[in-house]
Amino acid sequence: MAIDVKGVLSPLSAIGTLFEHPRTITYPEVKKEIPRGYRGFHINDLESCIGCANCQEVCMNEAIDMVHPDREYNPKNGSGCVPRIDYGRCCWCSLCTDVCPPSSLKLNNECIHADRDSNNFLYMPKNRKDIS
Amino acid sequence: MIDLSSKLEKLSLELVEKNAHLYKVTVKLENLESILLSFLNEFGYITLDSINCRDDLEEGLFTITYCLQTEKRDHVVMVQTSIDRENATLPSMHTLWPQAEIMEREMHEMFGVDFPTHPSLIDFALEYWEHMPPMRRDFDTLEFVNSMNPFRDQRGDNLDVKVEMKKRREEKKAAKLKAEQEAAAKLAAQEQQNPDSEAQNNE
Amino acid sequence: MIFQIILLIMLAYVVGFIYFGLYRNILARIQGRYGPTIYQSFYDSIKLFSKKNTVNYGWMFYLGPIIMATGAVLTLILVPVFSDSDFLRSATSQGNLFVLLYLMVLGPLGNALAVGTGGNPFGVMGVVRGLTRLIGLELPFYIAVVGLIIAANSSDIVHIIDMQKTGGLNIINHPLLFIAAMISMVGFFGESPFDIPGAPQEVYSGPRTEFSGKFLALLMSQGSLFAFAKLVLIIDLFLGGADSLWMLVLKTLAIFVTIIFIGVVYGRYKVEQAVDFLMKIPTLIALLGLARVIWFG
Amino acid sequence: MSDLKNTIKIFHGPQHPGITGNMSVELDLLGETIKRAQTHVGYLHRGFEKLVERRTVVQAFTIVCRICVPEPDPNEENFARAVENLTGLEISEKAKYIRTMILEMQRLATQFLWMGGQAGSIGLGLIPQWSVCDRDYMLDLFEELTGGRVYHMYAFPGGVRRDIPDGFLDKLSDLMNYYEKRITVYNNTFFDNTIFKSRAIGVGVVNADEALKNGYVGQTLRACGIKRDVRRDMPYLKYDQLEFDIPTRTEGDVYARALVRRDEMLQSIRILRQIIKQMPKDGEILQKIPKHRKFKLPADDTYVQTESARGAMSYYMAGDGSEKIRRMQVRGPSLVHAYTLLEKLLVDSQLADVAMTMNSLGICPPEIER
Amino acid sequence: MESGFHGSDLDSSLKCKLEESGMANTHAIMEKAVNWFRSRSIFVVAYGTGCGAIEMPPTFTSRYDAERMGVVGVATPRQADLIILSGYLAYKTLRRVIRTYEQMQRPKYVITLGSCPINGGMYWDSYNTIKKLDDYIPVDVYVTGCMPRPESVIEGFVLLQERIKNGEKAGWQKYDENLKFYKDNQKRVLGGHIDPSYETDWYNLENGGVA
């Protein structure tokens, strides 16, 4: 019976990792920087949103509702409505931001949210200036 | 490919070149089995890559496409045929290519195409499916979903933007009109006042 | 004596669980991550004890973990922990190696009885695998133990420890026996490449598949008690026992870490491959060691 | 069927740690020897082909990447190329290079994930811990380039959606050097591991004639000595101008497939290095299309193939003159593997071999049933 | 409407915490201690039901290492405390998930990943997936994303640990109390073809349904 000496001994080199620094990102304490272009939650500049509902039209998931905002908004807004996104539908494909004529709707790199109630997933995009 | 083209011409079939790696030949249903057999045995197309089915509802047809490849696998020949949409029946090809068994099983489930000589027409992906085969185009999936599942009910405040735009335009128009009227009234009031003041001045 | 036994069990429980926590940490470090806290096994076991049980397979099913725990506890109290003092030596004078070897098999048998009642096919499969593997594991270990008994001319562990004080450690005198016993020990600890009974990719958790809550906690506790007993047995047999707590920790840890290292870098054998391997290489090594003992003393 | 008399029937999956995804294999066992195997899929069936019919081309583009979860990019590439074939769009040089780069990056990432699964299936828990982390470094780059971690939605019909960010190619080049070092580590710990060899050699042997005839693809084909690769046989994008070898083995067993995959990883690194060198500095990335959002597909059909990390993945697409797709059918690489091949290979093998065989065939349930 | 996530207020019954007055007696203290241990040790059953299964390996392996929070994978539902339903569920999967869930021992928890279990997600018009998971299986924590990043999944674990620590009313209690509601819903979408009941007496729902 031939003994595969290399096959027995070479895996033992793995033990060397014991003395290396772990690669773990200890998440709640240390946060990895998410790149700027990441497709996370929506932001919407109400100062420039024109309420055209292009985003609603292009969304294949019917995730976008047009509702009246309770904040100050663009006086030139044609319908007085701004998009509100259902995060029970959204797939973060970014088509809505591609078709936004004034480029007011954008995706931000903030993307982490967990909740205990399924009713809590309607998202009103924040203004860009509210996000540091 | 000229080779295959001339061979097919003998069978009075035309080979259409789609691009450098894709060719298509359309056959009649009654010749399908013999032509596929000669593709396998004579022309050397030993691999069946896939069987595709397309529902042409308007024409009342299913268009079936067999995608064949040679040993070299450097091009695909699509052998296309049409069958009637009602009572759709096809001969099973699992004797020529064993993998056809599973593809035909899927087609049977998704389109309701029948394969009389197929050995195992059992469930593929669906379980206890009692409705119309789902990939048929007259199966309305949204209607089916609405009859089965409730969606969340909080989104009732969605507004129709066209209506809102109209409303807002009218509001604006009304506001403008009102403003004009007010301005006119103001003007009129001023004019009314002015004579008084003039009169007062005069006094 | 009763007090000492209780103290011993508590010590073994704590040490066993801390060793298990340490095991998870070393494993994690080799895998390039931080791993859980060292007390994680306590958390797990307390949580499992607090779970509600709703499955019921009859009393035989519940007896299985208890038989296993009995085996572990008995093994523990029959192994002398310290070589010099009588402290924690408890019942050692009443038992010798043969009783120990018998008790080490009690666990798998208890398991087999319980799992058979549970009726889960994966559990049964795991038990069959475990028993098959046991045939392979026991052969080299028993040969190694017989070699030591011949060398020491006694089957009493205390005597074997005493002999090592004068004649040098068995690991140096009989290295072949030590290697054979260590290879078996890797299997007794359920480490790769012999972790066949509970292979998750094949038979879920094997014998433990149907156990949940309190019984799983009991199994975990007995596992750590048993692990401690086995470690102490190995250092008694080959490393001359321990004369202080520090020595005990140092020696057991050395053996334990060796076993972890072997477990982490190799994959899992199939059951017949494992038996094939164990019947060949470790058995051969053990037989050579035995021959050396017989002919050269 | 008389030999099935004393067997017990177990369901290997869908809730099982040893299964590749959400599927199940029904096994008739005699002891631990498998006497009959039957694959069951459908746990992930979403009816993609139906959903695509209901959407316009642009909307459908965002959904196709979900067809195969571990490797979305070949799907996007197939979809984009099918639309381009139908509408006669030509994409720019730079877009071609970026798409080739994305495909190769995805291939590397998928192979790392596969390596984790393959090692995990023999109980070698160390390798998944390492290789999934190594894959994550690639996902970090994807994040930066495309904005998505797993689903990139990047290869749009007519080009790609975003330009390469500054300094991206340097990072990619560093990662390639790192990966090359890591592969030697995996060689020592996994591919040369005596246990893996003893488990994998001679298990799941596929014979070459049958492989060609039954339409097996990818590593299953290449591991029995047949040099077939869509990238070479029907070159698309930039593959005809890039230098790479097609690694083959002749044994046809699990171990041969593993080694073929490892060699392909080295080839992917080689391709990516060439792309980094040749990448054009500037150029259009997305073709300017009038009525960008309202593609109209002609009433025609086409068939495209892409070499995914597990073999050739094909799309059949037909339009009908409107904005919607008449029919799109996906033929994933593992459709035939999961049924015709797996059911055959498992007979008379051991229960312990099931997870290993499934992993080495690259079976991925979401693209079997869509 | 204000920006950020919002919808209806939390169900008041979900907020049911331990009575403050009961802290004096030992039972409550014991309960609190046990809850702490429960929150520190969560066993996850290995079942990847949807796309999200692809983010499970990074979460549980060395890059994000969920084990440092006491979250470990186990093979069988019997030993598990938590099932992660990673994404959409086809009807065929739902049958298996219900069975898996019923085999788990109490207390048990459910985390869902992605948009699909909340309101259908991108498969909202698919004929083979369920839309609102909460109708069939009680869910404790939802994680957004498509797919959620491993960080989000860990955020979900943190939230779950908080809930367990606070002794909030969990999904399994809701399931036991409203068994008829859940079973009716399951029956509605799955038809009569539901697996034989594991511990729920399916034929005797009127009398509480516990076998």
Residue B120's pLDDT band (cuts 50, 70, 90): confident
Q: What is the mean pLDDT of residues E16-22?
A: 44
Report the alpha-carbon distance of residue D285 to residue D279 in Å, rounded. Answer: 12
Report the alpha-carbon distance of residue E191 to residue C50 in Å, rounded. Answer: 37
Instruction: Kindly state the percentage of chain B with pLDDT values over 90.
Output: 0
Q: What is the mean pLDDT of residues D30-54?
A: 85
C with A: touching (≥3 Cβ pairs within 8 Å): yes
- Amino acid type, C212: S
pLDDT at E93 over 60: yes
Helix (H, G, I), strand (E, B) or coil at E83: strand
C196 in Cβ contact with C122 (< 8 Å) = no
Residue E11's pLDDT band (cuts 50, 70, 90): very low
E6 near A CB under 8 A: yes
Q: What size, in residues, is chain E?
A: 211
Angle between helices D254-278 and D93-120 (to 10 degrees): 150
Q: Indicate the average pLDDT of chain C.
A: 83
What pLDDT does residue D231 have?
87
E50 → chain D, closest CA residue: D44
Query: Range of C39's domain?
Result: 2-296
The owner of tokens 């959204």 is: A90
CATH number of D5-369: 1.10.645.10
Report the alpha-carbon distance of residue E146 to residue A89 in Å, rounded. Answer: 9
pLDDT at C117 over 50: yes
Q: What is the mean pLDDT of residues D353-363?
A: 87
User: Which residues lie below 8 Å from residue D170, measured CB to CB, with a gap of 6+?
Assistant: none
C283 in Cβ contact with C277 (< 8 Å) = no
D16 neighbourhood in chain E, CB within 8 Å: 46, 75
Q: What is the CATH number of the domain that holds E54?
A: 3.40.50.12280
Report the alpha-carbon distance of residue B9 to residue A125 in Å, rounded. Answer: 64
- Amino acid type, C232: V
β E141-143/E109-113 pair status: parallel
E7 → chain B, closest CA residue: B154
User: Which residue pairs from E198-207 have beta carbons closer than 8 angstroms and sit at least 24 positions apart in sequence?
Assistant: E198/E99, E198/E102, E198/E103, E199/C54, E199/C55, E199/E102, E199/E103, E200/E102, E205/E179, E205/E180
E87 in Cβ contact with E52 (< 8 Å) = yes
Token representation of residue E30: 């014991």
Helix (H, G, I), strand (E, B) or coil at C81: coil
B50 in Cβ contact with B67 (< 8 Å) = yes
E68 → chain C, closest CA residue: C36
Higher pLDDT: C95 or D298? It is: D298
How many CB atoms lie under 10 A from the CB of residue E167?
Answer: 19
Least confident of C151-155, D134-138, D182-186: C151-155
Report the alpha-carbon distance of residue E144 to residue A39 in Å, rounded. Answer: 13
Q: Indicate the average pLDDT of chain D.
A: 86
A119 vs A113, B154, D326, E11, CA distance in Å?
14, 8, 36, 10
D333 in Cβ contact with D214 (< 8 Å) = no
Report the alpha-carbon distance of residue C149 to residue C144 in Å, rounded. Answer: 9
E5 vs A59, A86, D363, CA distance in Å?
20, 10, 39
CB contact under 8 A, E5 and A121: yes
CB contact under 8 A, A58 and D58: yes
Three-point CA angle B36, D334, D38, nearest 5°: 90
Q: What is the largest CA-CA distance in chain D?
A: 69
> Which segments of D30-125 does DSSP mark as H helices, in order?
48-54, 57-64, 73-87, 93-120
Q: How far does the CA of residue D339 sit from the closest CA of chain B (Å)? A: 7
pLDDT at C93 over 70: no
How many CB atoms lie under 10 A from the CB of residue E104?
Answer: 25
E30 near C CB under 8 A: no
Q: Is the Cα torsion angle C31, C32, C37, C38 positive or negative in sign?
A: positive
Helix (H, G, I), strand (E, B) or coil at E24: helix
Residues 71-110 of C with CB under 8 A from D: none
Helix (H, G, I), strand (E, B) or coil at D324: strand
Residue A49's pLDDT band (cuts 50, 70, 90): confident
DSSP D279: -
User: Which residues lie below 8 Å from residue E148, measured CB to CB, with a gap of 6+?
Assistant: E52, E55, E113, E114, E156
What pLDDT does residue D177 have?
92
CB contact under 8 A, E156 and A114: yes
Report how many domains make up chain C: 1
User: Which residues lie below 8 Å from residue A77, measured CB to CB, with a gap of 6+?
Assistant: A49, A50, A51
Question: Quick one: which of B65, B81, B83, B56 has its CA closest to B137?
Answer: B56
Q: What is the pLDDT of residues C215-236, one digit of tens each?
A: 888 888 888 888 888 888 888 8
D200 near C CB under 8 A: no
Higher pLDDT: C118 or D113? It is: D113
D151 near E CB under 8 A: yes
Query: Range of A79's domain?
Result: 34-130
Report the alpha-carbon distance of residue E75 to residue E103 in Å, rounded. Answer: 13
Q: Is residue E179 part of a domain?
A: yes
What pLDDT does residue E20 have?
47
Task: Tell me chain D's radius of gyration from C-alpha atoms.
Answer: 21
C209 vs D67, D160, E199, CA distance in Å?
34, 49, 17
CA D246 to chain centre: 16
What pLDDT does residue C92 have?
59
Angle between helices C97-118 and C59-78 (to 10 degrees): 160
β D159-160/D155-156 pair status: antiparallel
Report the alpha-carbon distance of residue E72 to residue D282 in Å, rounded. Answer: 48
- Sorted by where each begins, the domain ranges of chain B are 2-149, 160-197
Q: How far does the CA of residue D35 sit from the closest CA of chain A (Å)? A: 31
Report how many domains make up chain A: 1
Report how many domains make up chain E: 1
Neighbours of E (≥3 Cβ pairs closer than 8 A)? A, B, C, D
Q: Which helix (H) or strand (E) holds D191?
A: none
Which CATH code, of 1.10.520.10, 3.40.190.290, 3.40.190.10, 3.30.460.80, is assigned to B2-149?
A: 3.30.460.80
D74 in Cβ contact with D154 (< 8 Å) = no
Report the alpha-carbon distance of residue B181 to residue B108 in Å, rounded. Answer: 72
Task: Tell me chain E's radius of gyration from C-alpha atoms.
Answer: 17
Instruction: Kindly state the percentage of chain C with pLDDT values over 90.
Output: 0
Residue C297's pLDDT band (cuts 50, 70, 90): low
Choose among A18, A20, A26: nearest Cβ to C34.
A26
Task: Tell me chain A's radius of gyration from C-alpha atoms.
Answer: 24
Q: What is the pLDDT of residues B162-200, one digit of tens each?
A: 787 788 788 888 888 888 888 888 888 887 776 655 555
Query: Range of E120's domain?
Result: 22-207
Helix (H, G, I), strand (E, B) or coil at B166: helix
Report the alpha-carbon distance of residue C79 to residue C120 in Å, rounded. Answer: 35
